[in-house]
A and B are shown apart, each in its own frame.
Chain A
Amino acid sequence: MTERPLSGLDAVERGPLPSDLGAAPSTTSIEGESDHPSVAALEGRFGSAILRHSVSAGDQTVVWIDPAKSLEILTWLKEDAGQLYDMMSDVTGVDYGNGRPVEVVYQMYSTTHKHAIRLRCPLPLEALQIDSVAGLWHSANWLEREVYDLFGVTFNGHPDLRRILMPQDYAEGHPLRKDFPLRGRFSRAEQTRRALAQDVERFYGTEELAHGGTPQEVAARAERADIAEAEG
């Protein structure tokens, strides 16, 4: 008898849920001509930096590219007169788990030629680094920050690579990675302990803290300060 499939709550109790299939993603690349005009142009120009390409969900062209050449390829796609992908709709990441590479995914659209293309860059877990494209498209600025925050991918050359959704001092890692348990890395007790041990001065300056107290105290203190200022 096969094991019962896990429900959502079981997975919470069990912690991280690695992807069910251990096999590497299939490497079936569609050989020959693709009807998407950018694919042939990309292959002609960048050759081996184009790892493979396929058509997904019926009509969506996906191209896997070498992360080492990603900036060069993306710059060309934006600026070449035949491509002109001027709209970077989305930058995101995909983690398949089980030690497989984390992929950075770019969704692009050309308002001139009315083409859409999706690029995917597989990054090995030991080198989660890729060149930032925030200099080419401003929209990539926050989107790359989000990928950094949730997947831990470093974008080289990004002007302001900080966490964006999680707190700046979040210590538990990068939540959308498959090895990150749904409940967080720390136990509930540890999370509570850390929350209670937070330093108030991190959020308020000493001056602001000095303003605490009952309204009467604050009023009296303000009056004393006025007089002191007037005399001194």
Chain B
Amino acid sequence: MATRTVELEVGRTPEMGVDGLPARSPLRPFDVPEPEMGTEQMLINIGPQHPATHGVLRLICELDGETVMSVTPDIGYLHSSFEKLGEYRSWNQIVPLTDRMDYLAPLIYNCAYVMSVEKLMGIEVTERCKVVRVICMELDRIFGHLLWLGTTAIDVGAFTPFLYAFQQRERIYTLHEALTGARITTSATRIGGMMADLPVGWLDALRDFLDTFPNTLHEIDRLLTGNQIHIGRTQGVGVINTADAINYGLTGPNLRAAGVDYDVRKDRPYYDYETYDFEVPIGEHGDCYDRYLCRMEEMRQSVQILHQAMARLPDGPINVQDPNISLPSKTECMSDMESMIHHFKLITDGIPAPEGDCYLPIEGSKGELGMYVVAEEGGTKPVRWRVRPPSFVNLSTIAKLAEGHLVSDLIMINASLDIVLGEIDR
């Protein structure tokens, strides 16, 4: 094999003066008076295409030296008009739109939407369905937090946690795929139940994940929690106090890191969350480090909830046994006249809703995720379908959090808020 020689580019020959000596540099640094420092402010633009903004987010920063004087977020690059599209779709057809919003924790969005519609229609889902949805939501809380953990660690220079976290996410992807047939765009729920019951062996696979995942989490914990660099980059950065955190509408781990004991699962319980035994971690400093600690603990608590949910998972049907809500099985549909009529009516007409509106908040992985649906009497489409986006409201605080910090801290603060642009722009 022939070796290839590489010609190194040598520096330019110095220009020669008339006396044969190298000409004196035209720059005479010591002759020039030092310019006045700290008078000029610089406007720099981060994003929209930048890996550290975690999506198509644009931050316009006014800097004095390296200190951030003000930040103006510019969003809307990923606006897909999901809420408008929803007004042209029947209740069940909206489910696929929901997982496109938060593609980092899609099952939580699937569940939140149908829960709100069911509450509006007064549908009580089966006990098995409730527990299965709790399993889905807690699994995706871990799923969402793991992505946050990996990408945030990489933003402050720690590469190993990223690999560890994504290895575990890959296992959840496999569980998603077994449950729904898709890795990200799950669309697993239907009004009155789920697309399908848990496949055979799925709970064993989940148990296997839950048995080994805490070990990895512990390894990441050992890499980051006591790490001097990580502590230096996160403690005291992006601090918000309790009163401001509430007033700015922060929710989820961001709010709890500031010392507010508000978790929708505890304060406005749904799906029997009050009967599960789990703790809600509360921070006290409201900085990036406390947000990190809160999310780490939430993952451990989610593992606890998942164990309890698997233990109590009842047998029985997963879908509501009402032919006007749930589709009949394919076999029934092809062999029974009545079922075929119901199938036809459900597909062509849809499910009629009563007049009214319903706002159902749940604890998503990013914060309080509220689905607000408005219907007219007998409407098979929503008049209005609104998503109360936790990331959107959380991101609006970034101007306050980042003011006075360095640009590198702005990256950390942005990462610590755990945003997803699909849901901010909708």
Contacts and interface: CB of A to CB of B under 8 A. Distances in A.
Interface in A61-88: 62, 86-88
B284 to A, nearest CB: 17
A142 B383 CA distance: 23
Contacts of B7: none
A209 interface: no
Contact of A166 (B79, B247, B356): B79
A5 B348 contact: yes
Interface in B111-131: 119-120, 122
B376 A138 contact: no
B135 to A, nearest CB: 25
A182 interface: yes
A230 B26 contact: yes
Nearest to A177: B84
A141 B87 CA distance: 26
A128 to B, nearest CB: 16
A133 B267 CA distance: 25
Interface stretch (B32-40, B314-322, B367-375): B367-375
Contacts of A96: 376, 383
Contacts of B376: 19-21, 25, 96
A209 to B, nearest CB: 16
Contact of A139 (B249, B267, B348, B357): B249
Q: How large is the interface on A (under 10, 10 to 19, 20 to 34, 35 or more residues)?
A: 35 or more
B76 A166 contact: yes
B75 A165 contact: yes
A99 interface: no
B379 A20 contact: yes
Contact of B357 (A8, A62, A137, A166): A62
Nearest to B261: A111
A56 B426 contact: no
A57 interface: yes
| Chain B interface residue bracket vs A | 35 or more
A89 B368 contact: yes
Contact of B370 (A58, A62, A89, A111): A89
B370 A21 contact: no
A101 B372 CA distance: 18
Interface in B353-405: 355-361, 368, 370, 372, 374, 376-377, 379-380, 383-384, 386, 388, 392-393, 396-397, 400
Given A56-B357, A118-B359, A94 B383 contact: yes
Contacts of A182: 84-85, 88
B396 A139 contact: yes
A90 interface: yes
Given A89-B249, A165-B76, A175-B84, A95 B26 contact: no
B76 A164 contact: yes
B88 A11 contact: yes
Contacts of B374: 94
B149 interface: no
A99 to B, nearest CB: 14
Interface string A171-186: 0000110001010000
Nearest to B348: A5
A95 B267 CA distance: 31
A94 B384 contact: yes
Contacts of B392: 142-143, 146
A92 interface: yes
B262 A111 contact: yes
B212 interface: no
A56 B426 CA distance: 26
Given A107-B372, A139-B396, A142-B396, A57 B120 contact: yes
Task: With a 10 A CB-CB cut-off, give which of B26, B75, B247, B379 has the most chain A CB atoms.
Answer: B247
A142 B393 contact: yes
A8 B89 CA distance: 6
A161 interface: no
A19 B27 CA distance: 74
Contacts of B89: 8
B83 A176 contact: yes
Given A142-B396, A165-B426, A19 B383 contact: yes
Given A94-B374, A94-B384, A142-B396, A86 B356 contact: no
Contacts of A231: 26
Given A5-B348, A105-B372, A88 B249 contact: yes
Interface in A83-124: 86-90, 92-97, 105, 107, 111, 114, 116, 118
Given A107-B388, A139-B393, 15 more contacts: A5-B350, A8-B89, A11-B88, A20-B376, A26-B355, A57-B122, A57-B358, A89-B361, A92-B388, A105-B372, A111-B246, A137-B249, A139-B247, A163-B76, A176-B83
The 7 closest A-B pairs by CB, nearest first: A139-B249, A57-B358, A230-B26, A142-B396, A90-B388, A165-B76, A56-B356
Interface of B: 26-27, 75-76, 79, 81, 83-85, 87-89, 93, 119-120, 122, 244, 246-249, 251, 260, 262, 267-268, 348-350, 355-361, 368, 370, 372, 374, 376-377, 379-380, 383-384, 386, 388, 392-393, 396-397, 400, 425-426
16 contacts: A5-B349, A17-B87, A19-B376, A26-B355, A56-B357, A57-B119, A58-B119, A87-B246, A89-B251, A89-B361, A90-B386, A105-B372, A107-B370, A111-B246, A116-B268, A141-B396
Interface of A: 4-5, 8, 11-12, 17, 19-21, 25-26, 56-58, 60, 62, 86-90, 92-97, 105, 107, 111, 114, 116, 118, 137-143, 146, 150, 163-167, 175-176, 180, 182, 230-231
